[in-house]
Chain A
Amino acid sequence: MELLLTVLVDGLIYAAWLFIVALGLTLVFGVLKILNIAHGSFYAIGAYAAASLVTWFTTIGLAPEWSLVAMLLAAAGVAAVLGPLLERGLLRLFYGRDEVLLVLVTYALFLMLEDGVKLIWGVDPYYVSEPYSLFGNVEMGPLFYVGYDFALMGLAVICGLGVWFGLNRTTLGKIVLAVIHNPEMSASMGVNVNKVYVLAFICGVFLAALGGAFTAPQISVQPGISVGVIILSFAVVIIGGLGSIEGAAVGALIVGLSRAAAVHLVPDAELFIVYLVMAAVLVFRPEGLFVRAQARKI
């Protein structure tokens, strides 16, 4: 019973973190049709930016509560700078190319950003533990958890609902959905498709950076964190069905829980359980769990 609870809570904590990042990935794919490997770099840059800003806020003497603001600002800053720059300056040049070729374009971008991060922040790890103790501890029977982990779950729910409401209940969201459905028709109806693309990409970068920023207190921020997260969030969106928000949520839960189960039950499988689950889902649902049926094009 205790083991089950541990797996459940660990899995949910893990899923929350993963969902925030994967949500951005699936949003960008939905609108721009790009499966973005560089998404992992945005995550890392968010974490680094947050680490720097939180440290700065502490040195100028602001209360620890301000570090939450610092992390949010860091993510927003990263999105505001990188989003338009990369979409307008680079990705725009490759629209209409083969989907897989676009993956390679983002792989090239990923390689470049990796080195860029090392040039700016160096290779030494950063630690920002201040915000981690902000929410106290949570006691569950014999188990202790850090409140911050549960706060992250709250953040994941807010992000998920935010994107869902933004897309389905606002005028702008409906315009975005129209562009997803048919960019040409939307353009002829007077929608500024380019603007929608930039906006969606900025949102995607923001979510990745947000995931990174709020994870920074839990981990040591160092080179290599981008590689781990990108393959995991790929697994999440592939399991859930590319471009689907519900899918990303379910995918994150599946990945989070199966990983937690592996950690506690079969530790040797921890490294590949995620890929095994992804392969298993794809065998039965070749395009993921939540995806609309499509006609084959002749």
Chain B
Amino acid sequence: MSTRSAVLRPVLVAAIVVVALAFAGMALPKWFLFLATMAIAHATVALGLIFMMRGGLVSFGQGLPFCLGAYAAGLGGPWLGLTDAVLLLLLGGLTAGAVAAVFGSLLARYRGIFFAMLTLSLSMVLYGLLVKATAIGGSDGLNLARPSILGYVPTTETADYALYLLAVATAGVLSAIAALHFNSVRGLMSLAVKENELRVEYMGASVRSLMAVNFIIAGVYGGIGGALAAIALGHIEPTFSYWTTSGEMVFLAILAGQHSVVAVFLASLILELVRSFANLYFPETWQLALGAFLLVVILFLPRGLGSLWHRGHKPAAPATDATTETGR
């Protein structure tokens, strides 16, 4: 594949899928449109996580950018007078990205469990702060007024579809960027870091800057996802930053696998459907079903749902067995 088509292909595919989904949305029931919008919001956060996971890092605190984006979108109206959803999404992404940039350089030297725990603790600090911040609603959170979308003011009738269109378009843009990045030099270098970080450093690349940039991108994606979820729900709570929210994002990323962008959105939709139907029919045991589902996926599809159809990158044979890796 020439370089030119490598750039064109993901953009074209994304554009076609977005248009197809936009038309499909007209025929879909309202409840499904809302569900799909939420699925896209969560998938956006998970897509950000995958930027990091390709470099071998798993954050258990992605609730932090998610929550920051949501609050930025919620406060953008009353504080800054922003009433357009597109601007609120941008604000959410930029806020979370800016905070990620502050912590990025600190976090770039952590790996494995310690990275996961440090990010987790940061998101829990935010949770604790928000619960106590009575000025912005405390543990009750706050409500969002329905924003306009590029100047169009949706009515109650059209709101779901309008928001769905916004979500699909956002997903299209972010997916194309992700697909382009994953095949770029930097994106591929992340995979090399996961294989062996010392070798990458010996070859002259800075692992720290690579990790920091991945972290910031993940922050921006998380913020946009949070803003989208906040706009769709019309309500924000500190629990956006609670560790179980972050756990769900990791869950989603693992379910999808790291090799296909489409899989992330599909996995998110499946999860959202499983959750709402399980909630409806087995309100007492839906966590049981979800947990079992996750175990089965990890056991039988260790590379995620995406590995069902994506054959691009064969996984390298495990370089070392578990005992030498962990037997310290």
B109 touches A271 (CB 8 A): no
B323 touches A114 (CB 8 A): no
Residues in A with CB closer than 8 Å to B251 are: 104, 107-108
Docked pose: A108 CA to B254 CA in angstroms: 12
B117 touches A238 (CB 8 A): yes
B288 touches A99 (CB 8 A): no
B262: Cβ under 8 A from any A Cβ: no
Residues in A with CB closer than 8 Å to B327 are: 181-184
- Shortest beta-carbon distance, B57 to chain A, in Å? 9
Nearest to A115 among chain B residues (CB) is B288
- Shortest beta-carbon distance, B45 to chain A, in Å? 16
B287 touches A112 (CB 8 A): yes
B118 touches A282 (CB 8 A): yes
B125: Cβ under 8 A from any A Cβ: yes
A286 touches B109 (CB 8 A): yes
Q: Say which one of A7-15, A57-65, A69-77, A89-97 lies at the interface with B.
A: A89-97
B285 touches A235 (CB 8 A): no
Nearest to B326 among chain A residues (CB) is A33
A197: Cβ under 8 A from any B Cβ: no
- Shortest beta-carbon distance, A230 to chain B, in Å? 9
A108 touches B292 (CB 8 A): yes
B116: Cβ under 8 A from any A Cβ: yes
A221: Cβ under 8 A from any B Cβ: no
Q: Mark B104-127, 1 if CB is under 8 A from A, else 0.
A: 001001101110111011101101
- Tell me the dominant secondary structure on chain A's binding face: helix
Residues in B with CB closer than 8 Å to A95 are: 322
A100: Cβ under 8 A from any B Cβ: yes
Query: Among A97, A118, A242, which residue has its beta carbon within 8 angstroms of that of B113?
Result: A242
- Shortest beta-carbon distance, A22 to chain B, in Å? 14
When A111-B290, A184-B324 are in contact, do A97 and B302 touch as well, CB less than 8 Å?
A: yes
Docked pose: A272 CA to B284 CA in angstroms: 30
Within 8 A of A (CB), among B177-204: 196, 198-199
B128 touches A100 (CB 8 A): no
A235 touches B121 (CB 8 A): yes
Q: How many residues of B contact A (CB 8 A)?
A: 52
Nearest to A181 among chain B residues (CB) is B327
A231: Cβ under 8 A from any B Cβ: yes
B323 touches A282 (CB 8 A): no
Residues in A with CB closer than 8 Å to B290 are: 108, 111
A234 touches B295 (CB 8 A): no
B299: Cβ under 8 A from any A Cβ: yes
Residues in A with CB closer than 8 Å to B128 are: 269-272, 275
Residues in A with CB closer than 8 Å to B310 are: none
Q: Mark A262-298, 1 if CB is under 8 A from B, else 0.
A: 0000001111100110110011001100001010111
When A100-B113, A183-B323, A298-B198 are in contact, do A275 and B254 touch as well, CB less than 8 Å?
A: no
- Shortest beta-carbon distance, A175 to chain B, in Å? 15
Query: Among B285, B323, B328, which residue has its beta carbon within 8 angstroms of that of A184?
Result: B323
B132: Cβ under 8 A from any A Cβ: yes
- Shortest beta-carbon distance, A148 to chain B, in Å? 29
Residues in A with CB closer than 8 Å to B127 are: 271-272
B124 touches A90 (CB 8 A): no
Docked pose: A298 CA to B73 CA in angstroms: 45
B68: Cβ under 8 A from any A Cβ: no
Query: Among B114, B247, B321, which residue has its beta carbon within 8 angstroms of that of A107?
Result: B247
**Would you list 10 pairs from A and B whose C-beta atoms are within 8 A, ordered by A residue?**
A33-B326, A101-B298, A104-B254, A108-B251, A108-B291, A115-B285, A182-B323, A231-B120, A235-B121, A275-B121
- In order of increasing CB-CB distance, the 4 nearest A-B pairs are A272-B128, A96-B322, A271-B128, A111-B291
| Given A99-B113, A115-B288, A268-B132; 7 other pairs, CB 8 A cutoff | A96-B322, A107-B294, A112-B287, A278-B118, A282-B121, A298-B198, A298-B199
